[in-house]
Every structure is written in C-alpha cells, then in structure tokens.
Amino acid sequence: MADHAHTETLALRVQFDDEAQQKDASTLGMWIFLITEIMFFGGMFAVYTVYRNFYPTVFAIASSSLNEVIGALNTGVLLLSSFTMVMAVRAGQLGQSKAIVWFLILTLLFGGVFLGVKAYEWNEKFEEHHIPGQAAFHLEGVAPADQGHAQLFFSIYFAMTGLHALHMIIGVGILLTLIVQANKGRFSASYYTPVDVAGLYWHFVDIIWIFLFPLLYLIDRHLGK
Amino acid sequence: MSDPNEHTHIDSVGTYIKILVALLVATGLTSWVANIDLGPFSTIVALGIATAKMTLVALFFMHIRHSTKLTKLVVVGGLLWLAILLLLTMTDFATRGILGVPGK
C-alpha cells in the first residue's frame, strides 16, 4: 500500500492508482448511465415502432402536419451545440480555462434556441387542435374513424419530444453549473472530467434527436404531394 | 506524476469542423430524400442516415475511437440489449395471428 500513498487531488482521488485510471473509471461510469438512458428511450422507440406498424398511413399524414423545415433547422442548431460542447472538452484537454467558459456558454445558447423553437412548435400544435385528448382534436385528411389513431401519433410525439426536452433542460442546468465552476478556474488540463462527462450526456441527447427527427417529422413525406 | 495528457488524444479543430459539416449535410440529405417515393426503403434510408450520424457523433464527439476497450465493449453491449428489446417485441407483433386459435 505504501507506494499508493499520495496527496489527494481532484484529478487523483486516493482510491485510484493514477489519473488515467480515474479518468477511465469516470468515462465508463457515465457510459453505463447512458446505456440505462438508451434502454429508457428504447421502450418509447418500441412503442413508436409497434403503432407505426399498425397505422402506417395515419402516421404518415400526421407526420406530414409537422413543420419539416423548422425541424431540420432545429436539428442543425442541436448539432452546432454538440460541436461547441466538444470544443469545450477540447479546451479542457488543452487546459484553456477561459475557452472552456466561452464554449460552454455557446453550447447553452444553442441549447436554449433549440428549446425555444420546440416551445414554438408545441404552441403551434395547440393552435391547430393537434393535442391528444382534446375534445376539439381534428387532423385534416384523416377519416373520422382514424382520428383516434392520429391522436396516438401525437401522444407519442409529445411524450418523446417532451422527454427529450426534459433531458435538454437538465442539460441546461448541468451547463450552468459547469460555467460557474469553470469561471472560478476549477478545471485544468489534468482535471476537466465534469466537462468531459457532461459532454457525453449532451451528445447522447443529440443522438436521441438524430433519431427522433426522421422518425417523427419525415415519415413518407412524398404522400402529401 | 505522469503527464495527464499522455493518454489523451486531442483531435484538431479541423476534424471536429469536418464532422459537423458532415452531420449538417446528412440532416439536409435525410430531409430531402423523405420527399422522394422510395416505397418501403424510405424508412431504411432514413434510419441508415440516422445511424451514420449517430456513429459519427459517438466516434468523434464522444471520443469512442480513443476510449478503452472496456468502454467500447459496454457501448456495443448496450446497443445489443436495445436490439433485443426492439427485435423480440416486433417478432411478437409481426407474428400474431399467423396461426389460428383452435376452436375459434
């Protein structure tokens, strides 16, 4: 044990042999958490798959009522935020503490834009009476007997984009905390694990959206033409 | 203490910009191709593009290509469980009603 004795730092807690081992342990732990998140979202993707198989035409019509251009632009905004996030991690690797703060702020900004656009889109659904459970629910181009199946699409739409937005809001909280810590100069080239691990979370949320966008917005768009 | 960056691979800004551009182009491509009638292949193309985008994000932005073998194994294992969830669920829904119920 004697040769393991060392002064404890943020980068090297007493239970680890060296900094690389601690870093690998943090990364692995975060990935285990992300796997549980994949399974969590996976259940919803399974629900989506089952019902889209049952009612493919209704799902295609309901999907085409979403604004494809706004959806694509918002995807771009989220991808940009992933880019600035990875740049913040890179700044951490290089020990540029000022750059970490600025890239985290940019990430927060793009994340905020995404959530704002999402709120606008949701509001549009309320105005169009595309809210499941609403007495006034009516989707144009769908037979009266199939209105219930259209409501099912919008239930899935709101549940999945809502759960995704919730993850974004949690991400915003994480980013704010990191910005405060980074601004105090807590991170350096030898210790930037919180930025790194938060980056993994942010990119994971991005990946969920990468699948949500084509699955919700882009079902058989050609049918409407 | 050893240099903390000894095991850290730092990618260049250029690499990240290339990945970002590829992701944005793929987003445009998937939006464009959705308006073309490919029959049942529409879904396959959409999911193919999404999977390619996921792979780029995971390999480069999430640094999987520089991760330890254990982390890589955990990620692949996780995707395997997701495949079990989706595939076994669908084997049920896809095969219901294939065989008649006796006496009905």
Size of interface A-B (CB pairs under 8 A): 151
Contacts with A201 from chain B: Cβ below 8 Å: none
Residue A163 placed within a domain: yes
- Residue A82 tokens read as 């992933």
Q: Is the pLDDT confidence value at A175 over 50?
A: yes
Rounded to a whole number of angstroms, the distance from the CA of B98 to the nearest CA of chain A is 16
Burial of A3 (0-12, 13-18, 19+ CB in 10 A): exposed
Q: What's the mean pLDDT in A209-214?
A: 97
Q: Is the residue at A41 inside a domain?
A: yes
Chain A residues near residue B89 by CB distance under 8 angstroms: 46, 49-50
Q: Give yes or no for residue A110 having a pLDDT over 70.
A: yes
pLDDT of residue A1: 47
Shared domain for B86 and B53, answered yes or no, is no
User: Taking 50 as the threshold, does the pLDDT of residue A85 lie above it?
Assistant: yes
Q: Average of pLDDT values for B18-35? A: 96
Residue A5 has pLDDT above 70, yes or no: no
Asked if B29 and B56 sit in the same domain, the reply is yes
| Whole-number Å distance between alpha carbons of A208 and B19 | 18
The share of chain A scoring above pLDDT 90, in percent, equals 87
Interface of A with B in 137-176 (CB under 8 A): none
Q: How many domains does chain B have?
A: 2
Q: Is residue A14 part of a domain?
A: no
Q: Degrees (nearest 5) of the Cα angle A175, B60, A37? A: 55
Domain that holds residue A128: 30-224
User: What are the residue ranges of helices labelled H in chain A?
Assistant: 19-54, 56-64, 68-94, 97-127, 147-183, 193-212
| pLDDT tens, position by position, A73-83 | 999 999 999 99
Mean per-residue pLDDT of chain A: 93
**Position A195 in a domain:** yes
CATH code (residue A188): 1.20.120.80
Tell me which residue in B2, B57, B93 faces A206 most closely, judged by beta carbons.
B57
Q: Is residue B2 part of a domain?
A: no
Contact B62 A50 (CB under 8 A): no
Least Cα distance to A21 among B62, B7, B75 occurs for B7
- Evaluate whether residue B17 is within a structural domain: yes
Asked, for residue B80, whether it belongs to a domain, the answer is yes
Task: Kindly report the average pLDDT of chain B as a whole number.
Answer: 90
- Evaluate whether residue B4 is within a structural domain: no
Name the pTM for this structure. Answer: 0.92
Q: Are both B43 and B17 inside the same structural domain?
A: yes
With beta carbons less than 8 A apart as the criterion, state whether B30 and A219 touch: no
Classify residue B5: in a domain, yes or no: no
> Beta-carbon neighbour count of residue A47 at 10 Å?
16
CA dihedral A38, A72, B24, B81 (to 10 degrees): 10
* Whether residue B61 is found in the same domain as residue B75: no
Pick A82's closest partner by Cβ from B4, B61, B93: B61
Decide if A19 is inside a domain. Answer: no
CB contact under 8 A, B1 and A12: yes
* Structural domain count, chain A: 1
Give the pLDDT band of residue A6 (cuts 50, 70, 90).
low
- Kindly state whether residues B52 and B77 are assigned to the same domain: no
Give the domain extent around B74. Answer: 68-97
